[in-house]
Structure 1
Amino acid sequence: MFENGAPRAPYAALAKWLEAQTPEEIARKRLEAETIFRRIGITFAVYGDESASERLIPFDMVPRIFNAREWARLERGVKQRARALNAFLWDVYHRREILRAGRIPADLVLRNDAYEPAVAGISPARNVYSHVVGVDLVRTGPDEFFVLEDNCRTPSGVSYMLENREIMMRLFPELFRQNRIAPVDDYPGALRRTLASVAPPGCDGEPVIAVLTPGSFNSAYYEHSFLADQMGAELVEGQDLFVEGNSVFMRTTAGPRRVDVIYRRIDDAFLDPLCFRPDSLLGVPGLMNVYRSGGVQICSAPGAGVADDKAIYTYVPDMIRFYLGEEPILHNVPTWRCAEPDALAYVLDHLGELVVKEVHGSGGYGMLVGPAATRDEIEAYACRIRNNPGEFIAQPTLALSTTPTFVDSGLAPRHVDLRPYCLVGETVHLTPGGLTRVALREGSLVVNSSQGGGVKDTWVMAE
């Protein structure tokens, strides 16, 4: 927010407004925001927390702000990355040209736990595998952005992006009158248009779209139901669907109704017990046969998770050059692949300085943040790396940007990242905003909600 002691240009109006607020007014607004979150049930599971299975998402009232120039560059970079990732996914399930060219080690892909041989040769509509790409970004300087990771299966958090904006507009309407802030409320409509654009060619009229959820006990169930409601789509569980012939049908009080597009929010392994895990009670028996025949589209496609892998992430710049013939607009964080002997030796010698991640990990679990770890934690983690080096990557502890955040003592800097949501179908669309996640503990670099992080509204200032 500040540069050389003065507010950066995008924050100037906000800084002036904050100075005019009394502590009592701020406290009242914070309580009001918490009350709204509690009333509408915006919660997230905190795994490993024995005191409660769910808690409220901490919401911070100071928004993250980008000017139009900054956002234009991010938009170009995220769209470029989404196109390359989808080209990669189509390629590795068909011709495997990038593997034959030696640009990515074949074993890294074909022996990856997320690679699904069952979908090899299947061509989804428009050759799109990942219809919602969440790209996690960090800022390290005025014009320096890096990609931390890619999320190509079912990136979560978009409901928080939308609810954050709704709450900010209710609490501070004067800020929206005084500033030209790009809207985010068209995301559900844009998502529906994206899903409809990949519907099977034989569907009659408007495609029938269903959101497939594991059920109300899932940590992201609020988001599943929220998006279904906002899109005007059906919210279904596996037991609500059945296969007949080359079609998937939904059970309704008026009789069976054909489903054309399934926006799935369950993992590949549980989609179809006849194809993947036979003990799954969450999926639909025979679903993959219908998908294979083109009778239904599954978004994102089964097998898209291989592009989520943190070892595959290190090759995305090569994908951009290979498939698009372009130089990457957004760069990866420098990364050591522990599967490589020289990189492994360096990582083991510098564990106290690095952030180490499991290549299949998510949610901030299984990480080692070297500068914040004890000697015993570092030694135990080194043992894990030596036992299976291919399961880990390491990155430097970047000087992540901070934004002012309300804490118990008042305004204080806290580290943040950003997850914008890129929709890929007939067109590639990026909502002007995203989910800003904030590490609420002082000095912490872990922003994940499941690890106790909070969220902020993200403003993109119009020209």
Structure 2
Amino acid sequence: MKTLLAHTKEINEQLARYGVKFGIYKDGTFNERLFPFDPVPRQIPEKDYEVLEKGLVQRVTALNKFIYDIYHDKKIVRDGVVPEEFVYRSPGYLAQCEGITPSKEVYSHISGIDLVEGKDNEWYILEDNLRIPSGASYPLIARTICRRCSPETFQRYHVRDNRNYGALLKRTMDYVNTGGINVIFTPGRYNAAYFEHSYLAEQAGAVLAESNDLFVENQTLYYRTSRDPVRVGAVYRRV
């Protein structure tokens, strides 16, 4: 751990060199800032992580089934488990989605579940973010640079490897792909999450596309190329 602390300056310099930034708008002006890096990692014991992993998988599965039910049978409303007004008055409810079933019945493909550990050493959920939340790229690139700057830290301690995230993202997109290429959608260079979009596209082997790169014809989405348009089968887009 001490060696990781000793390399803090070098790690921050490499993060800057790689352009690991996030953007914010303040007073109508776009500003970029370097990703803040803390060399002291938040350690979670393996036994705790295994419990969290199982619980989070169960929770996200249940949330997907909940959304499916809301837009189809509405059993959870009819049975009085969730009050009707909680659903139909929610700004997240879209009447246009009634009866629509996405590919493989998956509504939330990438979920961000905010966790906090209480004083009682129990884990609690603060929020479920199911709208393709941003942020995954920052710990991924930070871990890569930490491993490069302080390999002895990872040789000495049993740190769970996260280098397969790109492969997992590709597998997720392939699973729901309806026939075509995978696309990571970005609003453009001045979007707050542009670094993440470009990084994930590279890691997952997907095409990074802006709105002008895409068009719909006969209810099918296409990606413009210098030659013929290419059909798009899955889009990673923050809602």
TM-score category, normalised to shorter length: over 0.9
Following the alignment from structure 2 to structure 1, what is the Cα–Cα distance between the partners of residues 25 and 218? 41
Following the alignment from structure 1 to structure 2, what is the Cα–Cα distance between the partners of residues 50 and 129? 33
Residue 53 of structure 1: SS of its match in structure 2?
strand
Following the alignment from structure 1 to structure 2, what is the Cα–Cα distance between the partners of residues 26 and 179? 15
Following the alignment from structure 2 to structure 1, what is the Cα–Cα distance between the partners of residues 61 and 96? 23
Which residue does 1:223 correspond to in 2? 196
Q: Which residue, 88, 104, 108 being the options, matches 1:110?
A: 88
Q: Which residue, 157, 165, 169 being the options, matches 1:187?
A: 165
- Superposition pairs of residues 15-26 of structure 1, within 5 angstroms: 18=2, 26=5
What whole-Å deviation, never above 9, does each CA across 1:133-183 have from its counterpart, x for those lacking one? 111000114641100101100211100121121111012111111122221
Which residue does 1:385 correspond to in 2? none
Which residue does 2:31 correspond to in 1? 53
Larger Rg: 1
What whole-Å deviation, never above 9, does each CA across 1:407-463 have from its counterpart, x for those lacking one? xxxxxxxxxxxxxxxxxxxxxxxxxxxxxxxxxxxxxxxxxxxxxxxxxxxxxxxxx
Which residue does 1:247 correspond to in 2? 220
Q: Structure 1 residues 26 and 83, CA, compared in 2 at 3 Å: closer, same or farther?
A: closer
Alpha-carbon RMSD across the aligned residues, in angstroms, is 1.9
Residue 62 of structure 1: SS of its match in structure 2?
coil
The letter of the residue matching 2:110 is V
Which residue does 2:181 correspond to in 1? 208
Q: Which residue, 97, 104, 114 being the options, matches 1:119?
A: 97
The letter of the residue matching 1:135 is I
Residue 54 of structure 1: SS of its match in structure 2?
strand
Following the alignment from structure 1 to structure 2, what is the Cα–Cα distance between the partners of residues 87 and 247? 27
Question: What is the CA-CA distance between 1:47 and the residue it aligns to?
Answer: 4.0
Which residue does 2:109 correspond to in 1? 131
The letter of the residue matching 1:177 is Q
The more displaced of 106-115 and 217-226 is 106-115
The letter of the residue matching 1:111 is R
The letter of the residue matching 2:189 is S
* 1:163 corresponds to 2:136: no
Following the alignment from structure 1 to structure 2, what is the Cα–Cα distance between the partners of residues 46 and 193? 31
The letter of the residue matching 2:198 is S
Q: Which residue, 69, 73, 80 being the options, matches 1:91?
A: 69
Following the alignment from structure 1 to structure 2, what is the Cα–Cα distance between the partners of residues 243 and 68? 47
**How many matched pairs?**
239
- Superposition pairs of residues 385-404 of structure 1, within 5 angstroms: none
Question: What is the CA-CA distance between 1:49 and the residue it aligns to?
Answer: 7.2
Q: Structure 1 residues 50 and 110, CA, compared in 2 at 3 Å: closer, same or farther?
A: closer
**Structure 2: segments with no counterpart, 5+ residues:** none
Following the alignment from structure 2 to structure 1, what is the Cα–Cα distance between the partners of residues 139 and 120? 24
* 1:258 corresponds to 2:236: no
Question: What is the CA-CA distance between 1:64 and the residue it aligns to?
Answer: 1.5
Following the alignment from structure 1 to structure 2, what is the Cα–Cα distance between the partners of residues 242 and 39? 35
Question: What is the CA-CA distance between 1:46 and the residue it aligns to?
Answer: 3.7
Following the alignment from structure 1 to structure 2, what is the Cα–Cα distance between the partners of residues 175 and 142? 30
Q: Which residue, 26, 42, 55 being the options, matches 2:20?
A: 42
Which residue does 1:197 correspond to in 2? 175
Question: What is the CA-CA distance between 1:88 and the residue it aligns to?
Answer: 0.8
The letter of the residue matching 2:145 is I
The letter of the residue matching 1:102 is G
The letter of the residue matching 1:94 is H
Following the alignment from structure 1 to structure 2, what is the Cα–Cα distance between the partners of residues 179 and 110? 50
Question: What is the CA-CA distance between 1:59 and the residue it aligns to?
Answer: 0.3
* 1:69 corresponds to 2:42: no
Question: What is the CA-CA distance between 1:259 and the residue it aligns to?
Answer: 0.7
Question: What is the CA-CA distance between 1:96 and the residue it aligns to?
Answer: 1.1
Following the alignment from structure 2 to structure 1, what is the Cα–Cα distance between the partners of residues 228 and 219? 18
What whole-Å deviation, never above 9, does each CA across 1:315-345 have from its counterpart, x for those lacking one? xxxxxxxxxxxxxxxxxxxxxxxxxxxxxxx
2:23–2:190 Cα contact (<8 Å) kept = no
Q: Structure 1 residues 30 and 110, CA, compared in 2 at 3 Å: closer, same or farther?
A: same
Give the TM-score normalised by the residue count of structure 1. 0.49
Residue 65 of structure 1: SS of its match in structure 2?
coil
Percent identical across equivalent pairs?
A: 41
The letter of the residue matching 2:205 is G
Residue 40 of structure 2: SS of its match in structure 1?
strand
The letter of the residue matching 1:191 is L
Following the alignment from structure 2 to structure 1, what is the Cα–Cα distance between the partners of residues 173 and 97? 20
Q: Structure 1 residues 51 and 238, CA, compared in 2 at 3 Å: closer, same or farther?
A: closer
- Superposition pairs of residues 415-454 of structure 1, within 5 angstroms: none
What whole-Å deviation, never above 9, does each CA across 1:42-62 have from its counterpart, x for those lacking one? 112244378971211110111
Q: Which residue, 118, 125, 149 being the options, matches 1:140?
A: 118
Highest relative contact order (Cα 8 Å, sep 6+), 1 or 2? 1
